[in-house]
């Protein structure tokens, strides 16, 4: 999704979104066509988004696996369980909806940080850094933006293997993730991306509901972007150091990485194939094999997961990394 498409979609959604803080006594789960729905203040029952069901289970302390089994096999039993716990706990909840559906079931302390506000704030800061939006993603639980800056250009092994610095911005309107900014590197040669999660900055959606506090959040976002861009040289040095850590047995190393991060056999094969294109058998090459293999993933989420694993390997302490190599 390009930037203009993202903005257009967020503008379309804006008038459809609604929020309400409600006591548990005014929330009831009912069945409509054998599908669990929430009835709020005795009004028309509303469908519940799939991602919201997990939140209901967690907030009511119902084991998620059992919740999902009831949802699929015994929805009447699910409604009975949910209603019983809603009646007992006497809490207030913050419910977020879009159109005629419920998209989030949250603590009454949840602080709203909406996508469009985050995007506009980030774009204002990014204007000063000669950046371009590489790609955007929007789902019912999160927004991601990949950014790169032509001001941040360097190399690791040789000058023809150009690295461009940037960031990976994440926000969730439904409580599934915090607002976060992570450094992301773009390898021009292979169009690979690598996310270094260890340098992430986060803003949790919990706190005071006032304009002053919200203003601090957006000031913090702009500061985080500046700080991560300022660390580009430091990150390049980490990559160069990783290229000096040799791998004795790449097949064993990749198999151990696959096992440790619970990747599939298909992903393992893709990583091995990608590693064959790397000029050197080292830590940096293993990480690049992961980022190249990420391009073969069928979903955005899986590709981002692979980019994060690559970044985690880069920052992994040398003792732990060598243990994967059997050294």
What is the average per-residue pLDDT within 147-160?
Answer: 91
Report the alpha-carbon distance of residue 16 to residue 270 in Å, rounded: 42
319 burial level (CB within 10 Å; 0-12, 13-18, 19+): exposed
Report the alpha-carbon distance of residue 164 to residue 189 in Å, rounded: 11
Give first-to-last CA distance, the chain, whole Å. Answer: 43
For residue 175, what is the DSSP state?
Answer: S
Q: Report pLDDT digits (tens) over 178-191.
A: 899 999 999 988 88
Q: Report pLDDT digits (tens) over 50-97.
A: 999 999 999 999 999 999 999 999 999 999 999 999 999 889 999 999
Of 103 and 202, more confident:
103
**Where is average pLDDT lowest: 55-59, 150-154, 164-168, 203-207?**
203-207
Give the pLDDT band (50/70/90) at residue 209.
Answer: low
DSSP string, 177-223: S-EEEEEEEEETTTTEEEE-GGG-EEE-SBS--SHHHHHHHHHHHHH
Q: What angle do CA 90, 91, 95 make, to 5 degrees?
A: 130
Give the pLDDT band (50/70/90) at residue 215.
Answer: confident
Residue 279 has pLDDT above 90, yes or no: no
Per-residue confidence (pLDDT) for residue 189, from 0 to 100: 82
Percent of the chain at pLDDT > 70 equals 96
Percent of the chain at pLDDT > 90 equals 81
Give the pLDDT band (50/70/90) at residue 26.
Answer: very high
What is the average per-residue pLDDT within 132-150?
Answer: 96
Instruction: Tell me the pLDDT of the chain averaged across its residues.
Output: 92
283: phi then psi, degrees, rounded to nearest 5 = -60, -40
Question: Quick one: which of 260, 256, 254, 259 has its CA closest to 274?
Answer: 254
| pTM of this structure | 0.89
What is the average per-residue pLDDT within 282-309?
Answer: 95
């Amino acid at each position: 999704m390009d930037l203009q498409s993202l903005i257009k979609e967020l503008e379309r959604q804006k008038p459809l979104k609604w929020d309400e803080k409600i006591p548990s006594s005014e929330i009831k789960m009912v069945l409509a066509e054998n599908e669990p729905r929430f009835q709020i203040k005795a009004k028309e029952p509303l469908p519940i988004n799939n991602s919201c069901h997990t939140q209901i289970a967690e907030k009511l302390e119902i084991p998620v696996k059992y919740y999902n089994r009831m949802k699929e096999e015994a929805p009447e039993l699910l409604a009975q369980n949910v209603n019983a716990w809603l009646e007992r706990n006497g809490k207030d909840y913050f419910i977020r909806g879009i159109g005629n559906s419920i998209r989030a079931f949250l603590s009454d302390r949840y602080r709203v940080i909406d996508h469009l506000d985050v995007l506009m704030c980030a774009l204002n800061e990014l204007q000063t850094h000669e950046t371009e939006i590489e790609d955007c993603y929007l789902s019912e639980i999160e927004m991601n933006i990949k950014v790169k800056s032509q001001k941040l250009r360097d190399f690791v092994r040789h000058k023809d293997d150009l690295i461009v610095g940037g960031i990976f911005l994440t926000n969730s309107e439904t409580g599934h993730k915090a607002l976060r900014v992570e450094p992301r590197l773009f390898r021009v040669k292979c169009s690979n991306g690598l996310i270094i999660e260890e340098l992430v900055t986060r803003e949790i959606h919990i706190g005071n509901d006032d304009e002053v506090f919200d203003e601090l959040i957006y000031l913090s976002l702009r500061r985080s972007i500046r700080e991560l861009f300022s660390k580009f040289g430091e990150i390049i040095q980490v990559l160069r150091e990783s290229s000096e850590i040799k791998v004795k047995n790449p097949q064993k190393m990749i198999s151990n990485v696959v096992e440790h991060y619970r990747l599939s056999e298909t992903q393992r094969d893709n990583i091995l194939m990608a590693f064959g294109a790397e000029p050197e058998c080292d830590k940096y090459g293993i990480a690049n094999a992961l980022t190249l293999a990420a391009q073969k993933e069928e979903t955005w989420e899986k590709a981002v997961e692979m980019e994060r694993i690559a970044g985690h390997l880069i920052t992994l302490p040398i003792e732990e990394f060598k243990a994967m190599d059997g050294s």
